[in-house]
Amino acid sequence: MEITKSQKEGKIVLALNGRLDIRSAPKFLEALTCAFDEALHVELDFADLNHLSSSGLCVLLAGKRSAKEKNARMILVNVPEEVINVFEMTGFSRIIEIA
């Protein structure tokens, strides 16, 4: 998985490309942690994400927890339908902000 980081309008945008699974989850967690150290608004662009495993869900939960602790905001954008279905089946759609 590739993660592209950019900054716009006072927020950090992390664009994910590929598979968010057990192999890429640590890299994503590190990028997400660094993003919250730099900004109070982190946007995750899932337009090019083609797989999300339970390891990826764990990282998203950790990100949500970090956002809450820092009084910050984490929002997902351009989420593919398949990933939306995973969020709905697991209940994540009730705790993760999706635009």
pLDDT of 28-79, one tens digit each?
Answer: 999 999 999 999 999 999 999 999 999 999 999 999 999 999 999 999 999 9
Model-level pTM?
0.93
**pLDDT higher than threshold 90 for residue 9:** no
**pLDDT higher than threshold 90 for residue 15:** yes
Per-residue confidence (pLDDT) for residue 87, from 0 to 100: 93
Per-residue confidence (pLDDT) for residue 60, from 0 to 100: 95
**pLDDT higher than threshold 90 for residue 10:** no
Per-residue confidence (pLDDT) for residue 8, from 0 to 100: 87
CA distance to 39, 68, 73, 99, per residue, from 51 (Å):
27, 26, 24, 19
- Neighbouring CB atoms inside 10 A of 45's CB total 19
Domain range list for the chain: 2-98
Per-residue confidence (pLDDT) for residue 96, from 0 to 100: 93
Per-residue confidence (pLDDT) for residue 70, from 0 to 100: 92
Asked: is 2-98 a CATH 3.30.750.24 domain? The reply is yes
